[in-house]
Amino acid sequence: MTPHRTNWVLVFVLLLAGLFAAAQFGKLALTLSELRSLYPEGGAFVPVLISIVGIVGIALGAVAGSVVARIGIARALIIALVWGGVMSLLEATLPNIYVFSVFRALEGLSHLAIVVAAPTMMASISTLEDRPVVMAIWASFFGMSMAVLAVLLPYLLAYNGLSAVFVAHGTGMFVIAAILYPLLPAQRITSPVPVHYLAEHREIYSNPRLLIAGAGFVWYTILYISLLAILPDALGLSVWVVTTLPLISIAGTLFGGYLGKRIPPDRLVAIGFTATIVASAIVYLTSPALWSLFGLFLVMSLIPAASFAAIAYFNDSPTDRARATGGIAQLGNIGTTFGTPLFALAYDQAGLGGVCVLMSLFCTLGFIFTRVLRAKIK
């Protein structure tokens, strides 16, 4: 049932939960040098500690939506936040690398539950008019979290190293859980479906309404992290430019939410892919000009805004929305896990031109997948 008024207080507290969920990646990604010093014996395995959370999302994303729907969205959120806080505090003990990797895998369960439950709840507490903006606010959570972490982590590291980072993160998750608990509606699915691993995959990937959001979002996730990793070297970017790019992506995502009030999400995501193809060519032709790079990140960020808006736009029931969000979580983790190696190979073999061609190829695939799935929705 669509509410008559958007619960903006709850929207922004859920966004805070999303920031802490994104920090489950960022607290390691932005402290990689400290991790290497802590675990010198880990060698090439140390960066994998960052990806473990995403690997859990790949393995379990498709069933996460049904699990969340079955136990209740509000309950799943609180359990996930508390569980994530406990894992972070255990990581703060800085155990040996193998025990640490187990904690990371268990932390991945927390991350997956939050990124499925929070946007599903946000869709249910917003009006039809506000929903595109609300979902765009959610879609900006990763960039917001990285920007905040970039500011705070140096102070935490100076205070007490990695332990301070993990303690602060775990404590923050407990605080958010305590704030959320009295605000969350006791929302339950009236007829929860049984959870079967293979059956959930078949349901999501054979139903265009459940798949269309993730089928656009996956190509964005392949691009976003990869470009942040590759372009600083490819274009010789300064630190301030690298810091500015996530902020521009946040602005683009929020602008996408505004456009989503007037443009259906499938059309908006197609516009985003088309504009990104054009922008990638301009980046190549004008390199190393910064205005074209900023424009690329601005138009590219229309894609996540439209993708998350598509979840509620094409799915009415909370169960289907949770399933679609599970699908977008699984596909998003596939993109973030495999995108960077592909773009690194393209850059090594063909330089900036190879990066721009690969970018255009993935955007073309995203455009085609979205249009084909939309044509199948009655």
The pair of structure tokens assigned to 83 is 């569980």
CB–CB of 326/114 below 8 Å? no
Query: Which of 223, 190, 222, 163 has the alpha carbon at shortest distance from 35?
Result: 163
Residue numbers of the domain that contains 277: 8-186+196-376
Q: What is the pLDDT of residues 43-87, one digit of tens each?
A: 878 888 888 888 888 888 778 877 887 788 888 899 999 999 999
Q: pLDDT value at position 136?
A: 87
Would 2 be classed as within a structural domain?
A: no
Would 292 be classed as within a structural domain?
A: yes
Would 307 be classed as within a structural domain?
A: yes
Q: pLDDT value at position 74?
A: 87
Q: pLDDT value at position 106?
A: 95
CATH of the domain at 34: 1.20.1250.20
Q: pLDDT value at position 284?
A: 93
Would 1 be classed as within a structural domain?
A: no
The pair of structure tokens assigned to 376 is 């199948």
Compute the distance between CA of residue 232 and CA of residue 236 in angstroms, rounded to an integer: 5
Q: pLDDT value at position 146?
A: 83
Q: pLDDT value at position 100?
A: 96
Would 265 be classed as within a structural domain?
A: yes
Q: pLDDT value at position 9?
A: 93
Domain count of the chain?
A: 1
Q: pLDDT value at position 306?
A: 93
Burial class (CB in 10 A: 0-12, 13-18, 19+), 96: exposed
Would 226 be classed as within a structural domain?
A: yes
Would 288 be classed as within a structural domain?
A: yes
Compute the distance between CA of residue 367 and CA of residue 373 in angstroms, rounded to an integer: 10
Would 47 be classed as within a structural domain?
A: yes
The pair of structure tokens assigned to 363 is 């955007």
Segments of the chain scoring below 50 in pLDDT: 189-190
Q: What is the pLDDT of residues 201-224, one digit of tens each?
A: 888 889 999 999 999 999 998 898
Q: pLDDT value at position 143?
A: 83
